[in-house]
């Protein structure tokens, strides 16, 4: 890769704000296939894992997107892994909330499911004989 961005500084910039102990951050860079691919691995204290990954993996996914976009600008494929990460930690989309059963269709009920305050009880309109 020519004119390579400083991925170490970028990773430190993106990850360090989430760490309680920034000195515990460890980085490993492995260039593959003539510099067209870069594998970045990070490790940090287990207590920081929740903050780095964020709710539903949002933080780690944002970090990955920034690194991939930076690599794409320089014709390089960037892969970012966290040591000890499982697929559920990564927020890979398999843990999306599901609908709460019941009706389906996704449309709200007419009237919001609440009785109208202006309407009295309904009376049967039968025939009198």
User: What residues does each domain of the chain span?
Assistant: 7-94
Q: How far apart are CA 63 and CA 12, in angstroms?
A: 11
The pLDDT value recorded for residue 102 is 47
pTM: 0.64
C-alpha distances (whole Å) from 72 to each of 8, 22, 29 are 16, 28, 17
User: Taking CA 97 as the corner, what is the angle to CA 41 and CA 115, rounded to the nearest 5 degrees?
Assistant: 155
The CATH number of 7-94 is: 3.30.300.20
List per-block mean pLDDT (blocks of 10 residues) for the chain, which spans 129 residues: 80 96 94 87 93 95 97 94 71 41 50 58 61
Residue 28 has φ and ψ, to the nearest 5°, of: -135, 125
Residues 6+ apart with CB under 8 A from 72: none
How many Å apart are CA 30 and CA 100, to the nearest integer?
44
């Amino acid at each position: 890769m020519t004119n390579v961005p400083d991925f170490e500084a970028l990773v430190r910039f993106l990850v360090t704000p989430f760490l309680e102990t920034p000195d515990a951050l460890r980085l490993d860079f492995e260039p593959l296939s003539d510099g067209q691919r870069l594998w970045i691995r990070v490790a940090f204290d287990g207590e920081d894992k929740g903050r780095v990954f964020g709710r539903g993996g949002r933080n780690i996914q944002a970090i990955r997107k920034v690194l991939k976009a930076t690599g794409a600008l320089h014709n390089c494929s960037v892969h970012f892994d966290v040591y000890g990460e499982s697929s559920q930690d990564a927020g890979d989309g398999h843990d999306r909330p599901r609908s709460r059963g019941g009706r389906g269709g996704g449309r709200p009920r007419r009237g919001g499911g609440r009785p109208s305050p202006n309407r009295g009880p309904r009376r049967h309109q039968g025939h009198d004989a």
